[in-house]
Protein backbone atom coordinates (compact mmCIF):
# COMPACT_ATOMS: atom_id res chain seq x y z
CA UNK A 1 0.00 0.00 0.00
CA UNK A 2 1.40 3.39 -0.93
CA UNK A 3 2.10 6.04 1.68
CA UNK A 4 -0.46 8.36 0.03
CA UNK A 5 -3.15 5.73 0.33
CA UNK A 6 -2.32 5.16 4.01
CA UNK A 7 -2.42 8.89 4.76
CA UNK A 8 -5.72 9.30 2.89
CA UNK A 9 -7.21 6.34 4.73
CA UNK A 10 -6.25 7.77 8.13
CA UNK A 11 -7.50 11.25 7.18
CA UNK A 12 -10.81 9.80 5.95
CA UNK A 13 -11.33 7.96 9.26
CA UNK A 14 -10.60 11.13 11.23
CA UNK A 15 -13.04 13.13 9.11
CA UNK A 16 -15.72 10.51 9.71
CA UNK A 17 -15.16 10.61 13.46
CA UNK A 18 -15.31 14.40 13.48
CA UNK A 19 -18.51 14.40 11.44
CA UNK A 20 -20.09 11.90 13.82
CA UNK A 21 -19.19 14.02 16.84
CA UNK A 22 -20.58 17.16 15.23
CA UNK A 23 -23.82 15.36 14.38
CA UNK A 24 -24.25 14.54 18.09
CA UNK A 25 -24.18 18.22 19.11
CA UNK A 26 -27.87 19.08 18.44
CA UNK A 27 -29.02 16.05 20.41
CA UNK A 28 -26.78 16.90 23.34
CA UNK A 29 -28.06 20.48 23.28
CA UNK A 30 -31.63 19.19 23.36
CA UNK A 31 -30.73 17.29 26.54
CA UNK A 32 -29.68 20.55 28.14
CA UNK A 33 -25.90 20.31 27.83
CA UNK A 34 -23.99 23.55 27.37
CA UNK A 35 -21.64 24.25 24.48
CA UNK A 36 -18.71 24.01 26.90
CA UNK A 37 -19.88 20.66 28.31
CA UNK A 38 -20.33 19.23 24.82
CA UNK A 39 -16.92 20.44 23.67
CA UNK A 40 -15.29 18.84 26.70
CA UNK A 41 -17.22 15.57 26.42
CA UNK A 42 -16.55 15.15 22.70
CA UNK A 43 -13.02 16.59 22.82
CA UNK A 44 -13.88 19.30 20.30
CA UNK A 45 -12.96 22.95 20.28
CA UNK A 46 -15.66 25.24 21.64
CA UNK A 47 -15.91 27.27 18.43
CA UNK A 48 -16.83 24.19 16.35
CA UNK A 49 -19.55 23.25 18.80
CA UNK A 50 -20.78 26.85 18.91
CA UNK A 51 -21.03 26.93 15.09
CA UNK A 52 -23.11 23.76 15.03
CA UNK A 53 -25.31 25.11 17.82
CA UNK A 54 -25.91 28.34 15.92
CA UNK A 55 -26.73 26.55 12.66
CA UNK A 56 -29.08 24.21 14.52
CA UNK A 57 -30.80 27.19 16.13
CA UNK A 58 -31.21 28.87 12.73
CA UNK A 59 -32.70 25.73 11.19
CA UNK A 60 -35.12 25.33 14.11
CA UNK A 61 -36.21 28.97 13.83
CA UNK A 62 -36.86 28.62 10.09
CA UNK A 63 -38.83 25.42 10.71
CA UNK A 64 -40.85 27.11 13.43
CA UNK A 65 -41.62 30.07 11.16
CA UNK A 66 -42.80 27.83 8.33
CA UNK A 67 -45.02 25.86 10.74
CA UNK A 68 -46.56 29.10 11.98
CA UNK A 69 -47.24 30.28 8.42
CA UNK A 70 -49.29 27.17 7.63
User: Which domain covers residue 42, as residue numbers?
Assistant: 3-69
Q: What pLDDT, in 10s, does the model give residues 38-53?
A: 999 999 999 999 999 9
Report d(CA 37, CA 28) in Å as an integer. Answer: 9
Say if CB 25 and CB 56 are below 8 A apart. Answer: yes
pLDDT digits (tens, 9 = 90+) for 6-31: 776 777 787 889 999 999 999 999 99
Q: What value does the mean pLDDT of the chain take?
A: 85
Number of domains in the chain: 1
Contact in structure between 49 and 25 (CB atoms under 8 Å): yes
pLDDT at 33 over 80: yes
Spatial distance between the Cα atoms of 27 and 22, rounded to a whole number of angstroms: 10
The CATH number covering residue 40 comes to 1.10.10
Amino acid sequence: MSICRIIFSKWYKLEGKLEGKLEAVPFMLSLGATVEQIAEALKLDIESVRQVAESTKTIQEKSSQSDTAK
